[in-house]
Every structure is written in C-alpha cells, then in structure tokens.
Structure 1
Amino acid sequence: MYHYIDSFLLYLQVEKNAAENTLAGYRQDLFAGLDFFAAALGKADYAVQPADIDPKLFRAYLARLALEGWQKNTLARKTTAWRSFFRYLAREGVLEDNALATVKPPRGEKKLPDFLHPEQCAQLVESPADSLLGLRDRAMLEVLYGCGLRVSELVGLDVGDLDLAAGRLRVLGKGGRERLMPLGEMAADALQAYLRLARPALCRGVDQTALFLNARGGRITRRGVHKVIGRYLSQLELVGKVSPHTLRHSFATHLLDNGADLRVVQELLGHVRLSTTQIYTHLSTEKLKEIYSRTHPRA
C-alpha cells in the first residue's frame, strides 16, 4: 500500500501540480485511514491491499471518526482523499473499479469566513514603521489585502512577476493557474518604496529572485508571514483570530459590499467554481441584516 500511496502523491505533484499543503493533507488522510484499516483487518500497515478496503469497512472508519468527535468537514475531506486515491488506482489498473465511488462524502457545514472591517484593515496595513523590515511588511500587507492573495501565492512571488509601470502583478495560483492582478495605488506605492529602500539592503548583493525577503536575505516563508501579522496584531486592539487568509476574505467581502460583480470577484480570487465565491454573498447579506436591525425603528 505504501508504494501505491507514494505513486498517487507523485501523480498529484507532477501531473496535477498540487500545492505542497494539498499533498501534505492527502498524505496525512491516507496514512491515518490505513492505520484504522490495518487494525480492523488484523494486518500490518504494509500488508493491507487496496482490494481489502470495501465500502462497508470505509463507512465503519467514518463512523469511528464521528464517534471521536471529528467535524463533518474533516470527514468529507478524508472521504474525498480516499475516493481520489481509489479512482487513481482503478485508472492505473490496480483495481477493477473504484469501490469507494458509492461512498458519498458527508455534507459539511458551511462556515462564513472571518473578515475585518475596512477601518480595521487600514489600521493593520498601516501599522509597520519606516524601517527596512517595516517597509517590507507594509508592502506585503498592502498586497495581501489589496490583491486578495493566498499566503502561498504571496511568498511565491518573484521580482519578475511585478510590473509597476502597468500596475499589475502576475500570480501563480492553485493548480498552476496564472492570473494577472491589478495593483491599487497604495500597494504600488508601498512596493516601490520597498524595492527602492529596503529590498537591496535585505538582499545583500545576492542574486535573489524572490520578491519578498526575510531578514537573512532568503525568500520569506508562509510561517514568516504569519509571524509578521501576529507581531502587528499584538500592537493593535483587534479582536478575534486574524491570519493572512482573513485579509483575503476581507478583500472579497469589501469588493462585494461596494457593488463589485460576483464573476469579477471570482476571477480576482482565482476560484475555478463560482460556488466557492458565493459564500461571500452571505457575508454581504449578514451585513444588510445587521444594518437593518440596528437602524430600523421596527426591527
């Protein structure tokens, strides 16, 4: 089974251009399931064969997870991982058919994403000082909020992806899909200041292609961006959990609140399906209800 899982993950990486986080999630879900199946079958992990796993056994696995308190969204994700794995095995001829095709993922609960109000975003984005790292942080925060990027997209940016003259940014999103993002004036100004005053000093003369650098001159990491945001949050009185993705949610919410077309927001976010973007319309509806309840005398 180990060999099949490794082959599947390699297929996702090479042919599907899956992100590292996606690969890590699939790896974790597959090996966690394998542990359960081995115990249930009375076999060692390496001795379990794909044909040993049938819908009845897999549903018993989901039932065990539910008893342990796992959320429906997690159960759905694990089901999707195993169904994809078995579909790959059937296509490769390891299995005659996908035995798990009849196992439907549990319907997860859709949670409204957290977001900041515009004044809170302004407070966070404008908090860095005019130091080398402060100029870098200001540029990163402006791009995160002004372009609605995923943190993986932000840290993957190279200098060559930036076209200040045209006011746009080339972004490589999920699945290797490329999109051009317009740069707002504030983001462009922050990037220009960072490139002129801070990045050369951080780079230390090394030929580095990464746009955003850490204090040692290397490409900043996802963890590094989280730490940057956490540092400024500790200085501000912002309630609730705020992450780089919160700024992405805020980007989409503020666009829709101000009349942007849903299809346009879909393109800007790099979503393949419109249904993924539609969750932000619920946020706008919630805002309307809040305003109505607060302002109408008969509410």
Structure 2
Amino acid sequence: MEELLTEYRAYLFCERGLVAATVRYYAQEARLFLTRSGSGELRELTAGTVTRFVVAEASVRSTGAAKLMVTALRSLLRFLLLTGRVETDLVSAVPAVAGWRLAWLPRSVRPDQVRVLLESCEQNRLVGRRDFAILTVLTRLGLRAGEVAAMELDDIDWRAGELVIRGKGNQHDKLPLPVDVGQALVGYLRAGRPTSSYRQVFLTALAPHQPLASGSVCAVVGRACVRAGIERIGAHRLRHTTATSVLQAGASLEEVGQLLRHRELNSTAIYAKVDHGRLVSVTRPWPSGSPS
C-alpha cells in the first residue's frame, strides 16, 4: 500500500498539478478506501465494493465532506485504471452525493466584526504583527488559507505594487497590492518575521521556525475570534466577506470573479444572492388583488 500511495502522490503532483494540501487529502482518502477494500486484491475490486464504501462514508459525513470524498475516490480509481492495477473503469460506480449548486447563501462577516478581529492583534508583539498581517491579507484580498500559507517573499513586487498568488492547480495570478496590505506585510517582515532560510512569508512564532500550513492560518483566525469575543469563524468566511463588500461597493460579478480568481462565472454567481440592490431591480411586482 505504501508503494502505491507514494506513486499516487507523485502522479497527483506531477500529472495533475495539485497543491500539497490537496495531495495529502486525496492520499488520506485513498488510504481509507484501500484499507476498507483490501489493497492486496485490487484486480478483484468490484463496483459493489465501491458503492458500498461511498454509501457508508456519506452517511457519517456532511454533504460538502461527502462530495470531496467522492471526488478523491474517482481520482484514485482513474489512477488505478491508468496504472493497470484494475482492469475495469470503476469511476461510474461512484454514486453522486445529493446536493444542489447555488443553493446556499455566502455568509459574510459584518464590518464591525472585521474591525475587532484586526484590533485583537497585539502589534507590540511579534506574533501579533504576524497575525495582523495574515488577517489583513485575508480580509482585503479574499485569499484562501492555503494561498496565504504559500506566499513567498519573491511573490511581492514592491515597486510594481503587485502580489503573485499561488492558487489552485499551481495557477499563478497577480493581484494589486493595496497600501494597507503592504504596510501590514512590511510591519511583520521588518519587526516580526524570524530570521530563516525559508522563502515563505509567514513562519511559526516558536522555534524551530517553519512555514505555516493552511491549517495554521485557519487557527490564526480562530484565535482572533476568541480574543475579539465573537462567534468563531473560518478563514473562508473572510473570503466571502471580501467578495460581498466589493459587490456592495458597486463592483460587477465579473470583477468579483477576477478578484477571487474564479475560472468560471458560475462559481461567482452565488454572490448575486447578496446583491440586494440589483435583485430589487429585476424583481417582478406582486400581482394586484387578493391571492386566491
């Protein structure tokens, strides 16, 4: 199994171009499936085994987690077919998880809550400067936690005022570097970041100083919520907050999509639900008279 998983991770990195966090998750799900199905008898793997595994796991997971699980499982089954470990394409045996696109509302954070989150960082301390910079990047640029963790010193072009974002699928995009974001980064880099050979911007506060993982970035947000005395939220809620505030300031959905670096407009369309001003303009008046 270990040899198979090592080869699978290399395939995900080199052939699929997935980022490290996604590769770890896919390998974790692959290990679970192979353990349950019996990795020594893959040629005898059947569609029934695949379906029973999905049904069992989906019953104890949320809809979102179940959807991620079936995506990872389909990836593994394609790899097993590609490498000749199974003779039948079993991808179609993976049932879809019930769920509807655009059925949810993006949950944002109120401006006063964003303010108290930033104010909760003690900028007279090294860790406070780091956390303030992380929260500023999250709230102003709408980055994902993994993108914040992946930021490197060479990604910041101070003269051009641009920042390279290392996004999903090894996609690199450039965003303008707002003044307040630049100031927060400078405050951390000059008087908060430990001396290190690592090129990642954000490092752990305690020795040995290592780059933060995406989970650590989420933990920074969680600790700030506790200090601020507000409901605990995830880093992705701040991404929704950025998109909602930009939309309410008059930006179009296309511009919000560019900021969030969505590849498809459908990914941005969910934010149309929170644009109340424009929704009113297309709302049909209620018919006159009493309803029957």
Deviation string, structure 1 residues 83-119 (Cα, Å, up to 9, x no partner): 2222233333444441332544223255434320122
Q: Does 1:242 align with 2:233?
A: yes
Do the aligned partners of 1:149 and 1:269 also contact (CA within 8 Å) in 2?
Answer: yes
* Structure 1 match to 2:18: 18
The separation in 2 between residues aligned to 1:218 and 1:2, in whole angstroms, is 27
The separation in 2 between residues aligned to 1:166 and 1:17, in whole angstroms, is 28
After superposition, residues 122-137 of structure 1 pair within 5 angstroms as: 122-131=115-124, 132-137=126-131
Mean Cα displacement is larger for which, 133-142 or 88-97?
Answer: 88-97
In the alignment, structure 1 segments of 5+ residues that lack a partner are 38-44, 290-299
* Structure 2 match to 1:29: 29
The separation in 1 between residues aligned to 2:150 and 2:88, in whole angstroms, is 38
The separation in 1 between residues aligned to 2:211 and 2:77, in whole angstroms, is 37
Do the aligned partners of 1:158 and 1:209 also contact (CA within 8 Å) in 2?
Answer: yes
Q: Does 1:48 align with 2:41?
A: yes
- Aligned with residue 57 of structure 1, among 46, 49, 53: 49
After superposition, residues 54-203 of structure 1 pair within 5 angstroms as: 54-66=46-58, 68-101=59-92, 103-108=94-99, 110-131=103-124, 132-199=126-193, 202-203=194-195
Deviation string, structure 1 residues 177-203 (Cα, Å, up to 9, x no partner): 00111122221222233333433xx32
Q: Structure 1 residues 5, 213: CA separation in 2 closer, same or farther (over 3 Å shift)?
A: closer
Local SS of the residue matching 2:192: helix
Local SS of the residue matching 2:255: helix
Do the aligned partners of 2:161 and 2:177 also contact (CA within 8 Å) in 1?
Answer: yes
The separation in 1 between residues aligned to 2:52 and 2:222, in whole angstroms, is 41
Do the aligned partners of 1:168 and 1:180 also contact (CA within 8 Å) in 2?
Answer: yes
The separation in 2 between residues aligned to 1:104 and 1:243, in whole angstroms, is 29
Do the aligned partners of 2:144 and 2:235 also contact (CA within 8 Å) in 1?
Answer: yes
Q: Number of paired residues?
A: 276
The separation in 1 between residues aligned to 2:137 and 2:41, in whole angstroms, is 48
Do the aligned partners of 2:50 and 2:93 also contact (CA within 8 Å) in 1?
Answer: no
Q: Report the AA paired with residue 245 of structure 2.
A: H
The separation in 2 between residues aligned to 1:168 and 1:191, in whole angstroms, is 13
RMSD: 2.9
The separation in 2 between residues aligned to 1:270 and 1:225, in whole angstroms, is 20
Deviation string, structure 1 residues 143-170 (Cα, Å, up to 9, x no partner): 1111111112112212211123322211
Q: CA deviation at 1:69?
A: 3.6
Q: Report the AA paired with residue 213 of structure 1.
A: L
- Aligned with residue 269 of structure 2, among 278, 290, 296: 278
Q: Structure 1 residues 107, 259: CA separation in 2 closer, same or farther (over 3 Å shift)?
A: farther
Do the aligned partners of 2:113 and 2:230 also contact (CA within 8 Å) in 1?
Answer: yes
Q: Structure 1 residues 85, 245: CA separation in 2 closer, same or farther (over 3 Å shift)?
A: same
Do the aligned partners of 2:165 and 2:175 also contact (CA within 8 Å) in 1?
Answer: yes
Do the aligned partners of 2:12 and 2:18 also contact (CA within 8 Å) in 1?
Answer: yes
In the alignment, structure 2 segments of 5+ residues that lack a partner are 281-292
Do the aligned partners of 2:121 and 2:132 also contact (CA within 8 Å) in 1?
Answer: yes
The separation in 2 between residues aligned to 1:53 and 1:286, in whole angstroms, is 54
The separation in 1 between residues aligned to 2:95 and 2:152, in whole angstroms, is 41
